[in-house]
Every structure is written in C-alpha cells, then in structure tokens.
C-alpha cells in the first residue's frame, strides 16, 4: 500500500537506509515538511507498517527504504504502477532494484546510466578567490547559459535554492563572474555537488576543474564527504580533478510522448 504522508514524522526519517536517495528525500523533508503541493511524501507500507518513502518533488521522484528493508517484487510492481500514475519526469531508486523495475517501466520510461563519484582529498586547499556567499542572481545568470531547462524556471530555482540555503541544506559558490557550482544537499556529513557551469566564452580554461577541486578540499577540510553524479562518459574528467567512481545507477526518464 502507498499513501501520502500528511503529518510530520521526524523519527521515520531517522530510520531511512543510508544512501543518496535517503539524503535527497531528507533534504526535501527538512526544507519543506509535508505542507507543500510541490513537495509531497508518500509511505510504502507492508502489513500496516512503513517500509519505505517516496518523494515527489516538482517533476522528480525518489524512492528509498527503511533500514533492514528490501522491497519485494510485488512491492516494486506497486511502486512501478504508482510511478506510471504519477508520471514524474525522472525517477531515482537504489541501483540494486534497477534490473527488476526497468522492464516494469519500459513502456513509459527510458533508463539513463549514471556514475557516482567521491572526492579524494590531497589535503591541500588551492589559493583561489571563491565567493562562498554569492548573490543567487549572479549564480543563476551563469546557470541559465548552461542548463536550458533552468532558463525558463528562474522563480522556481531562486525560491527553492534560497530556501535551502537559509535552512543550511545548500550552498552556492562563485569564482569570478564566470564559473559556479552549488551544493544540492548537505545531509549526514555528505555534500552533493550539482549545477556546475561556466559561461561559454570562458570554457576551456579549466575554471570548473579548479573550482570543483577547491570545493572538494574545502568541504573535506570541514569534515564532509563530497560526492557528485555524472554520466559515464565524464568519468575521466572527474578522475583527473580528484574524484573516484564509487557506484553506478540509472535515472529513469519519461518518454516524450508521455510528458504533459
């Protein structure tokens, strides 16, 4: 059974199985609770007891389990049906379920391989001038040139990012007026880097590499494990910076004919 969570239950989120998916879901809960339509949380239940949580945040869905829980094939079929009814643009679920759930979603969703990286510190923070509390408008002015979907979603991005920053769940960095990166969540001593971008006229000058390395060393020095996700063809790029591939999963993206 799957039903929407209507009341805050902090203790439930403390029982989530440690993973990227759980941290993303926790960040949604800590930022917005259960009172917003764009950030909905659902309970997966077995024998009247919670066994997992599904987060539907705007057009994305994340799925995770509680500690010591493994979804059965029947439960995955129920989750797949829920996905098809909800029709999020993207779906993330722990990688060990990918092979089972992929054929259940194949009529509506296409899998896209993804690699998880962890930063390997050398213990040396390079001497760079980085703004650790930049104007988010300045950050967005760079992002819109690299992420076409964001260019049309300024209000959504600025509202969400500023809200997360105020709650200590996110942070943006700016190097000069040409390169930026944003921590998508800071949860359980893990920091996930995303939205890395450089203005087109400044690309090829290794600015993004320098900023990513600086962020990795800076946050490692503060006691955080630094992670990021990228497509497999970018493995060598991130390894050259100082990241190591530690895992793989799939992001399921809705086929164009089912988008609304």
- For 44-88, what is each residue's pLDDT tens digit? 999 999 999 999 999 999 999 999 999 999 999 999 999 999 999
Question: Based on the domain organization, do 210 and 129 belong to the same domain?
Answer: yes
246 phi and psi angles, rounded to 5 deg: -120, -5
Range of the domain at 179: 118-249
Average pLDDT, the chain: 94
Residues 182-193, mean pLDDT to the nearest whole number: 95
CATH number, residue 206: 3.40.630.30
| pLDDT confidence tier of residue 8, bands split at 50, 70 and 90 | confident
Question: Based on the domain organization, do 124 and 217 belong to the same domain?
Answer: yes
Question: Based on the domain organization, do 86 and 145 belong to the same domain?
Answer: no
Residue 234, phi-psi category: left (phi > 0), alpha (psi -120 to 50), beta (remainder): alpha
Which of 60, 77, 107 lies at the terminal end of a domain, its last residue?
A: 107
Return the percentage of the chain with pLDDT > 70, whole number: 100
CATH number, residue 21: 3.40.630
Question: Based on the domain organization, do 97 and 176 belong to the same domain?
Answer: no
Residue 226: pLDDT over 90: yes
Question: Based on the domain organization, do 11 and 100 belong to the same domain?
Answer: yes
Residues 172-201, mean pLDDT to the nearest whole number: 95
Which residues lie across from 185 on neighbouring strands? 192
Residue 7's contacts (CB-CB under 8 Å, 6 or more residues apart) are 34
Residue 136: pLDDT over 80: yes
The residue assigned the tokens 């494990």 is 225
Which of 62, 82, 107 lies at the terminal end of a domain, its last residue?
A: 107
Residue 98 CA to residue 112 CA, distance in Å, equals 11
Question: Based on the domain organization, do 84 and 142 belong to the same domain?
Answer: no
Question: Based on the domain organization, do 146 and 77 belong to the same domain?
Answer: no
| pLDDT confidence of residue 151 | 82
Question: Based on the domain organization, do 138 and 202 belong to the same domain?
Answer: yes
Q: What is the pTM of this model?
A: 0.93
Which two structure tokens, joined as six digits, stand for 35?
A: 């009172």
- Residue 256 forms part of a structural domain: no
Tell me how many domains the chain contains: 2
- CA angle (121, 233, 240) in 5-degree steps: 25
Which two structure tokens, joined as six digits, stand for 55?
A: 């987060």
- Residue 257 forms part of a structural domain: no
Question: Based on the domain organization, do 102 and 130 belong to the same domain?
Answer: no
Length of the chain (residues):
260
The residue assigned the tokens 């050259």 is 240
Which of 54, 85, 107 lies at the terminal end of a domain, its last residue?
A: 107
| pLDDT confidence of residue 28 | 94
Question: Based on the domain organization, do 228 and 201 belong to the same domain?
Answer: yes
Which two structure tokens, joined as six digits, stand for 20?
A: 């990227």
Q: Poorest-confidence range of 35-44, 109-118, 143-152, 197-206? A: 143-152
| pLDDT confidence of residue 152 | 86
| pLDDT confidence tier of residue 197, bands split at 50, 70 and 90 | very high
| pLDDT confidence of residue 231 | 87
């Amino acid at each position: 059974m799957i039903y929407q969570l209507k009341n805050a239950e902090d203790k439930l989120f403390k029982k989530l199985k440690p993973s990227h998916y759980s941290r993303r879901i926790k960040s949604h809960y800590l930022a917005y609770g259960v009172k917003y339509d764009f950030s909905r949380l659902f309970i997966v239940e077995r024998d009247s007891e919670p066994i997992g949580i599904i987060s539907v945040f705007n057009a994305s869905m994340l799925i995770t389990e509680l500690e010591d829980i493994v979804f059965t094939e029947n439960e995955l079929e129920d989750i797949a049906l829920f996905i098809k009814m909800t029709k999020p643009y993207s779906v993330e679920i722990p990688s060990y379920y990918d092979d089972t759930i992929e054929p259940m979603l194949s009529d509506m969703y296409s899998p896209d391989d993804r690699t998880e990286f962890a930063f390997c510190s050398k213990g040396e923070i390079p001497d760079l001038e980085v703004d650790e509390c930049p104007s988010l408008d300045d950050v967005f002015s760079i992002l819109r040139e690299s992420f076409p979907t964001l260019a049309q979603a300024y209000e959504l991005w600025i509202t969400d990012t500023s809200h997360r920053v105020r709650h200590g769940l996110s942070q943006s960095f700016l190097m000069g007026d040409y390169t930026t990166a944003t921590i998508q969540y800071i949860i359980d001593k893990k920091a996930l880097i995303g939205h890395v971008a450089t203005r087109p006229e400044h690309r090829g000058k290794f600015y993004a590499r320098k900023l990513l390395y600086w962020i990795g060393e800076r946050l490692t020095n503060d006691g955080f494990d630094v992670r990021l996700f990228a497509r497999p063809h970018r493995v060598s790029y991130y390894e050259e910076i100082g990241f190591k591939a530690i895992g793989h999963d799939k992001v399921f993206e809705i086929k164009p004919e089912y988008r609304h």
